Amino acid sequence: MIKTGSGGLSLNSQFTVGIVGMGPRGLIMLERLCANAATDLDRDPTTVHAIDTGPAGAGRVWSPDQSMHLLMNTVAAQITIFTDVSVSCVGPVVPGPNLYEWATLLTTMGAVAEYPDDVLKQARDLGPNSYPTRALYGHYLRWAFQRIIETAPPHITVRVHRDLAVELDERGEKQIVHLAGGDHLVLDAVVLAQGHLPTALSPAGAPRSGARHIVPGNPADVDLDAIAPGESVGLRGLGLAFFDYLTLLTQGRGGVFEERADGRIEYRASGREPRLFAGSRRGVPYHARGDNQKGMGERHQPVLLTTRTIRTLRERAASRGDVCFRKDVWPLIAREVELVYYRALLRRRGVATETIAAFLQSYLLSPAGSLLEERLLRRHSVAERDRWNWQTIETPYDEHAVRGPAEFTRWLVTHLERDAVLARGGNVDEPVKAALDALRDLRNEIRQVVDHGGITGHSYRDELAGWYSPFNAGLSIGPPRGRITEMAALIRAGVLEPVGPGMRVTPVADSGGFLLSSSVVPGPPIAVTTLIEARIQDSDIRVTADPLLRRLIDTGQAAPYRIPNPDGSHYETGGLAVTERSSHLLDARRRAHPQRFALGVTTEGVHWATAAGVRPGVDSVTLSAADAVARAMLDRRANRSAKRVETNAS
């Protein structure tokens, strides 16, 4: 049953739960609560309060009302919020459709009256390897929310609060959540499942006054109407948020991409576009995702980063506390990726399966960069130009050979076109794209190694968060191939101009604008009147502007997670400290709160890559973590019921 409205004091016989944040993480939490509650014997009435300023299920970030031009960077068949037989959870597995299966059902079952025509068209056109719009995903999440409510056991009631939770207090054994609208909810347990939250800090290079500066955030929430046609606009960042802004300021203003007879994509401008200048530290965008050739649940099976290896590393971390990412984990990841590359390369050449297997075994036994490795590659006719090179993959240009903006622009267009060709080859058949997709496949294993202090604090700060996370993002979680071809078309059309690597931003006090320049590409600075931080702000609860978390931190009811070092020092992360098994919230004295839990983006630092979506068939840790929290909550309810029975008996 679903209701809206206020909370108030709960009856003694009723168990009440609050979920703060009802986007994908909160939705998964609700599903796990309902699934586990369905197996209860006591069937005590339970009310779940779902709290979010956005629509329940989708939340604000995945609102179905956002621009249809914005795409996800994951194919439809690899997106779900439901458990399956691969998930290592104690609670019951309750399967449900992935996004592609839902879209297929939507258009074949006839239950389409509630959806507008443009949504139905998207659903009909969607294939398992298509990249859905973010809005369509929002509709999927809203549908999933309704399904979870409709199939919930009869003793579960869900109340939706379209409001902001601003404070969490305690009154005896009750948790009190205060809402911005004035209501307060009296709860027995609460889970914080918020996504990316606003920060109180301004980015480096922010103006003191005058100019328009758009801070990091969700592009779908930003009002871009004030940017005039022809205005000079700088974009700092070339990741996924950059492509969202690029789309909103071109297609979103009436521009059209057209395919020529030879297959090349050209851009026909509307005349309403601003002039765009974009750059970043690397100066090149994220690598395009290879066209998907993997079935649901299909992924690279680790050869080195195995369950046994992970267990050994965790045991060493527990006993000695000296595991370092760069020394102990990265060599395993690198070798896994290289194995995938050479396997695909030799397979494409038609080399016999037995020969490939022998090569891979020998490659594993050859130290990286050794003479033994060199001889092996030569023996199998792998020329220098065809060998895997991490440096070239990360930095594909020669900074010493760049002589000016025009030359760099020509090089970048060629690079983008080549990247699109590689992506068309697929994430299994094309060697480079197969290798980079293996990085994405290894996320679960990496989490199992590094989560909850699996590596030293210094290593987490400098080697994981400071190096590998952005490095991995640029290589393995890039945009669909089409976005790369569109970027090349916009550069050719003169709508977009690359600034170059090592982008610098200098505020101009007199004019209120900015000057953009590159530390690699020589040339005069570029003057812009608007600067867009084309990235999502890193999650850091220490500088959060969210009122509920801000007060918890300031009063010591919650604390940043600290990772120890062998010398006795600690690295303080920006994630909420929680317990390892059931994600109980820890206070400033490291005491676990039995009624408070936290999951998702706000725990980044305790867990790694928390913003990643849930993929079916690969034993997603997001699903098993939510299941553990749900069971901990229901265990508390069972204990309370037992005490009530004892009291009544006496």
Tell me what pLDDT residue 5 has.
52
Instruction: Output the CA–CA distances (angstroms, integers) from residue 574 to 194, 455, 556, 568, 579, in the order listed.
Output: 14, 16, 15, 20, 16
Cβ-contact 160, 179 below 8 angstroms: no
Cα 253 to chain center, whole Å? Answer: 27
- The pLDDT of residue 42 is above 80: no
Tell me what pLDDT residue 647 has.
41
| Phi, psi torsion values for 42, nearest 5 degrees | -80, -30
pLDDT tens, residue by residue, 255-304? 999 999 999 999 999 999 999 999 999 999 999 999 999 998 999 999 99
Q: Measure the CA–CA gap between 367 and 373, rounded to whole angstroms.
A: 7
Q: What is the mean pLDDT of residues 607-627?
A: 96
Terminal Cα distance for the chain, rounded: 35
Cβ-contact 32, 629 below 8 angstroms: yes
pLDDT tens, residue by residue, 512-528? 899 999 999 999 999 99
β-pairing verdict for 530-533 and 212-214? parallel
What is the DSSP secondary structure assignment for residue 136, as one 8-state letter? H
Neighbours of 171 (CB within 10 A): 10
Tell me what pLDDT residue 11 has.
44
- The pLDDT of residue 13 is above 80: no
Portion of the chain with pLDDT greater than 70, in percent:
94
Q: Is pTM, for the whole model, over 0.85?
A: yes
pLDDT tens, residue by residue, 43-75? 889 999 999 999 999 999 999 999 999 999 999
Cβ-contact 603, 67 below 8 angstroms: no
Tell me what pLDDT residue 506 has.
96
From the list 5, 56, 54, 12, the residue with the least C-alpha distance to 30 is 56
Tell me what pLDDT residue 594 has.
97
Classify the C-alpha dihedral 311-314-315-320 as positive or negative: positive
What is the DSSP secondary structure assignment for residue 463, as one 8-state letter? I
Cβ-contact 577, 607 below 8 angstroms: no
State the amino acid at position 184 in one-letter form. Answer: H
Q: Measure the CA–CA gap between 501 and 487, rounded to whole angstroms.
A: 17
- The pLDDT of residue 207 is above 60: no
Q: Measure the CA–CA gap between 78 and 68, rounded to whole angstroms.
A: 20
Q: Measure the CA–CA gap between 424 and 438, rounded to whole angstroms.
A: 17
From the list 616, 602, 628, the residue with the least C-alpha distance to 81 is 616
Q: Measure the CA–CA gap between 186 and 484, rounded to whole angstroms.
A: 50
Portion of the chain with pLDDT greater than 90, in percent:
88
| Phi, psi torsion values for 564, nearest 5 degrees | -75, 155
- The pLDDT of residue 12 is above 70: no
pLDDT tens, residue by residue, 295-353? 989 999 999 999 999 999 999 999 999 999 999 999 999 999 999 999 999 999 999 99
- The pLDDT of residue 6 is above 80: no
Q: Measure the CA–CA gap between 93 and 394, rounded to whole angstroms.
A: 40
pLDDT tens, residue by residue, 535-590? 998 999 999 999 999 999 999 999 999 999 999 999 999 999 999 989 999 999 99
pLDDT tens, residue by residue, 463-500? 999 999 999 999 999 999 999 999 999 999 999 999 99
The token pair at 28 is 């998964």
Bridge partners of 169, per DSSP, are: 176
pLDDT tens, residue by residue, 409-429? 999 999 999 999 999 999 999
pLDDT interval class at 150 (50, 70, 90): very high
Polymer length in residues for the chain: 650
* 3-state DSSP of 148-165: HHHCCCCCEEEEEECCCE
Q: Domain ranges in the chain?
A: 2-198+540-649, 212-284+480-533, 307-476
The domain 212-284+480-533 is placed in CATH, from the list 1.10.760, 3.90.930, 3.30.310, 3.50.50, at 3.50.50
Tell me what pLDDT residue 43 has.
84
Cβ-contact 218, 61 below 8 angstroms: yes
Bridge partners of 597, per DSSP, are: 191, 584
pLDDT tens, residue by residue, 212-247? 999 999 999 999 999 999 999 999 999 999 999 999
Bridge partners of 517, per DSSP, are: 504
State the amino acid at position 419 in one-letter form. Answer: D
**What is the CATH number that goes with domain 2-198+540-649?**
3.50.50.60
Cβ-contact 471, 337 below 8 angstroms: no
Q: Which residue has the higher pLDDT, 432 or 401?
A: 432
Question: Residue 491: in which H helix or E strand, if any?
Answer: helix 481-492
Give yes or no on whether 2-198+540-649 and 212-284+480-533 have one common fold. Answer: yes
| pLDDT mean across residues, the chain | 94
Tell me what pLDDT residue 637 has.
87
